[in-house]
Amino acid sequence: MISVLGVDVGGTKIAVGPVDDTGARLAAPLVEPSRSRDTESFLAGLEATLRRALLEFARFGPRAIGLACAGTVDTGRGVVVTSPNLPLVEVPVAQAMQDALGVPIVIENDANAAVLGEAVAGAAIDFRHVVMLTLGTGVGGGLLLDGRIYHGANGGAGELGHMVVQKGGLACRCGSHGCLEMYASGPALARYAAARIGDPAQDPDDALHDLYRRGVLTGEAVAGLARHGYPGAVGAVRELADWLGVGLVSIANTFDPQMIVVGGGVSGLGEALIARARDHVRENAMAPARDRVRIASARLGNAAGMIGAALVAWEALGRGRA
């Protein structure tokens, strides 16, 4: 038996599991804490985790390793250029791990990996033109154009959370204003809910106010209340869906994709979120995408990055590059 190891490299934990060439997971992943204090300790921790994973999954015959992480990745050189949650600036992670472990290693941006994962083994199976939008603490994106991950000139393509949807709008952590991320992320959902506090029709049981006072009015908490039909939470989800719809129209008009996959924690709301945004696209995007583009929730959840990174490693093995 042969396999590759897919790795989701996060700021707090690293998950590693064996994946076959169809994107199927062969075993439950090994999950270990990530050390993100500085570059050196991070790399040492990653190496130790990968070493343990190679042993633990030895029976699956791992031939290569694919790493997925947030940030700008130069896939050709295997370098993490910058990352929002890892202490990596221009670090040749792939080469470092390959030298230490003697196994071919590739590295890919997590949203790029996720869109490949969804296209091979998730919501967008057999589609070649797929855009992934991930709604979490931030809003990210991945582009599968004509069957291939599109990286742009410097590995920075697909930052769809930083399309401007409101000129002069809210200040974004990226330094710009009015980015989609400020309106369609988990924190935005919490903000829409907070604005409904004090309105008896929206917050009849003071549930939102209560969460707010305790400092736990998060997007996740609002999503939970929305699932139970709590009015202010349902309203907040609608507000988010309206902004998501605007972002999806821009994506449809820009890419004319076969499918837009909506992932990330906020996408756990499923059709409660997606249906309204999809209606907006059907009414506001341009033909032919308006009528043809499919809009669906991601299927692979948190595993999309790991599976996608493994598929990138499989591709590299096939090309004899890894």
The residue ranges that bind a second copy (CB under 8 A) are 72, 81-82, 128-129, 141, 145-146, 150-160, 162-167, 174-178, 183, 242-243, 246-247, 249-250, 253-258, 283-289, 292-293
CA torsion through residues 31, 33, 39, 45, sign? negative
Residue 30 or 241 having the CB closest to a second copy: 241
Residue 205 or 291 having the CB closest to a second copy: 291
Residue 65 or 80 having the CB closest to a second copy: 80
Instruction: Report, in Å, the least distance between residue 253 CB and a second copy.
Output: 4
Instruction: Report, in Å, the least distance between residue 257 CB and a second copy.
Output: 6
Spatial contact of 87 and 37, defined as CB atoms under 8 Å apart: yes
**Residue 159: how many CB atoms within 10 A of its CB?**
19
Instruction: Report, in Å, the least distance between residue 170 CB and a second copy.
Output: 12
Query: How far is residue 113's CA from residue 143's CA, in Å, rounded to a whole number?
Result: 9
* Tokens found for residue 220: 């996740």
Displacement of CA 94 from its chain's centroid (Å):
21
Spatial contact of 119 and 112, defined as CB atoms under 8 Å apart: no
DSSP-derived pairing of the beta strands 105-109 and 62-69: parallel
Residue 98 or 112 having the CB closest to a second copy: 112
Torsion-angle region of residue 61: left (phi > 0), alpha (psi -120 to 50) or beta? left
Instruction: Report, in Å, the least distance between residue 165 CB and a second copy.
Output: 6
Instruction: Report, in Å, the least distance between residue 205 CB and a second copy.
Output: 31
Residue 16 or 69 having the CB closest to a second copy: 69
Residue 187 or 301 having the CB closest to a second copy: 187
Instruction: Report, in Å, the least distance between residue 174 CB and a second copy.
Output: 5
CA distances for 131 relative to 61, 64, 67, 229, 267, angstroms: 32, 27, 21, 30, 15
Residue 156 or 224 having the CB closest to a second copy: 156
**Among candidate residues 289, 279, 271, 281, the one with its CA nearest the CA of residue 246:** 281
Q: Which are the contacts of 316, defined by CB distance < 8 A and separation ≥ 6?
A: 64, 66, 104, 106, 322
Instruction: Report, in Å, the least distance between residue 114 CB and a second copy.
Output: 17
